[in-house]
Amino acid sequence: MSNRPAVSREAPRRLRSKIALVLTLAAIGGFSAMAGAGWLLVLEAEDAILEGLVAEAVQAQERPEGAPSRPPWLTHLLDDAALCRSMGLAAAPASPGPHELFASADGSASVLIAGFTDRWRVWLASDREREFRLRRDRAGRGWWLADLSYFEFTEARVASVRSSLLAASVAVGLLALLLSALIIRWTVRPVVALAARVQAGSGLTEAPARPFAEGCADDEVGFLARSLDESRERVAAALGRERQFIAECSHELRTPLAVLKAAAALLPEVAEEPEGRARALARMTRAVQRAERLVQFFLVLAREGRERADVLWVPLRAVAEEAIEDQRAIRPDPTRVLAVAIPPEVQVLASREVLLMLVHNLVGNALQHAPEGQVAVAWSADATLTIDDEGPGFPDAGEDARPRGYGVGLALARRLCETQGWALHTARSPAGGARVSLHFPDAALRERIVVY
């Protein structure tokens, strides 16, 4: 029975609700913008028609060959004073026009439109309903005044046009809303399908049953699905490595803990025997040392992927000799031959502690699993460090051999090498025992000049 929270199943529904809300707001905004733009277009068209009509009438009155009869809505005022008296203005306009005026019903008070502030005053004042057009006459002294209230029949036409424009705006808005819903639904459908697929396969497994990108087109959604597949594969691989890491840790730590437990139980029984007590303490010491090496390995692996500030050029021969000296102190056997065949000029770009710990453990493994014979640490021309012993060798010799119980565990050693950019391989030594090879990349090697 799935324990996935029910809220995850509501994600597509919430997404659809948000899409509907966005579409509604977009439709309202688009409708308002279209209505406002249409209203301004109607007003501009009306003003252009009236301006053209007034200009044509004034030109006809000022023709030298004789003017036709003056229309009743056009008045000629002789000078600025006559204009101010007729329209209730404080001063006549400075420019020849055309100018726009709004006056009261009796014409006693007028507002000359010079900017948005004056137009706002007209909108707020309910008694400025008569609209006039004003322009200077050809002589430059008088004014032609056109009373546009005579053209009130156009208001009915404007109202009709406004109604038609409103209806058209509503129809276009609804059509745009429908088309937007269809387009967004078509666009979001693969996203919703991908989200459902991700929810259905959100469990982290080492082998995902179905890739997210299966059936996706080569577009943005497909790119997202492929990225999710790559991320899931990386997470699954990391999960597999961690499971293997935990299994190796539990296996490797069990041995020194068992030795410590057995030695601690045996110690009271041999407390009066110096030799027995020394053997028990020696076993406990070796178990503690082995547990310490394991902990060092685990700490290095825990820092995988982090920057290491202690990386420098390390003489490989000096590290191998130090590891062998440590092993001689741990296992004092004068009959064992521990040979080092590494040119002194070879240097490795690495953390000295990590390299020493790795060589130390590989040499210790060889000594532990090959009780007799020689252990040789050698350098070959292909940038490989080899540790050979004369023991029984690996149960299944080869590069993929990963026998359990071999010291710190070859799986952990190989994992440690991977964190450093090295490669660890296993094979059979020329003497029939085990061979562990540690290969370094060319960028991590150099040979310094040795002066004798």
Instruction: For residues 293 and 249, give the distance between their C-alpha atoms in angstroms, rounded to a whole number.
Output: 12
The alpha carbon of 349 is separated from its chain's Cα centroid by a whole number of angstroms, namely 34
Greatest Cα pair distance in the chain:
148
More confident residue, 191 or 451: 191
Could you give the CA distance from residue 164 to residue 141 in angstroms, rounded to a whole number?
44
The pLDDT value recorded for residue 299 is 74
pLDDT for res 379: 92
Confirm if 88 and 117 have CB atoms less than 8 A apart: no
Q: What is the pLDDT of residue 6?
A: 41
Mean pLDDT of all residues belonging to the chain? 76
Q: Which long-range contacts (CB under 8 A, 24 or more apart) does 328-336 make?
A: 330/286, 330/289, 330/364, 331/367, 336/367, 336/372, 336/374, 336/375
Domain boundaries, the chain: 14-157, 220-296, 308-447
**Where is pLDDT greater, at 138 or 12?**
138
- Position 97 confidence tier, pLDDT thresholds 50, 70, 90: confident
Q: Which residue has the higher pLDDT, 425 or 249?
A: 425
pTM attached to this predicted model: 0.44
pLDDT confidence bin for 306, thresholds 50/70/90: low
Interior angle at CA 304, CA 418 and CA 359, nearest 5: 50
Decide if pLDDT at 175 tops 90. Answer: no
pLDDT mean over 198-224 = 70
Residue 208, pLDDT score: 54
Q: Which two tokens stand for residue 154?
A: 């156009």
Q: What's the gap between Cα 8 and its chain centre? A: 22
Higher pLDDT, 12 or 381: 381
Q: Taking 60 as the threshold, does the pLDDT of residue 191 lie above it? A: yes
385 compared with 220, residue with greater pLDDT? 385
Q: Is pLDDT at 419 greater than 70 in this prediction?
A: yes
Q: What's the confidence (pLDDT) of residue 421?
A: 86
More confident residue, 396 or 4: 396
156-167 residue pLDDT tens: 565 676 677 678
Q: What percent of the chain is predicted at pLDDT more than 90?
A: 6
Give the β-pairing of 445-447 and 346-351.
antiparallel
Fold entry, domain 220-296: Helix Hairpins (1.10.287)
Q: What is the pLDDT of residues 264-280, one digit of tens each?
A: 888 888 777 888 888 88
Tens digits of per-residue pLDDT, 337-354?
888 999 988 898 888 878
**pLDDT at residue 5, as a whole number:** 41
Stretch 182-209: mean pLDDT: 71
| Calpha distance 154→160 (Å, rounded) | 10
Closest CA to 340 of 357, 316, 364: 316
Per-residue pLDDT at 33 = 77
Q: Is the pLDDT of residue 79 over 80?
A: yes
Beta bridge partners of 103: 110, 130
Residue 385 is predicted with a pLDDT of 93
What pLDDT band is residue 404 in, cutting at 50, 70 and 90? very low
Enter the CATH code of domain 308-447. Answer: 3.30.565.10
Q: Is residue 386's pLDDT more than 90?
A: yes
pLDDT bin (cut points 50, 70, 90) of residue 192 is confident
Note the pLDDT of residue 202.
62
Model pLDDT, residue 449:
45
**Which pLDDT score is estimated for 7?**
39
Provide mean pLDDT across the span 181-210. 71
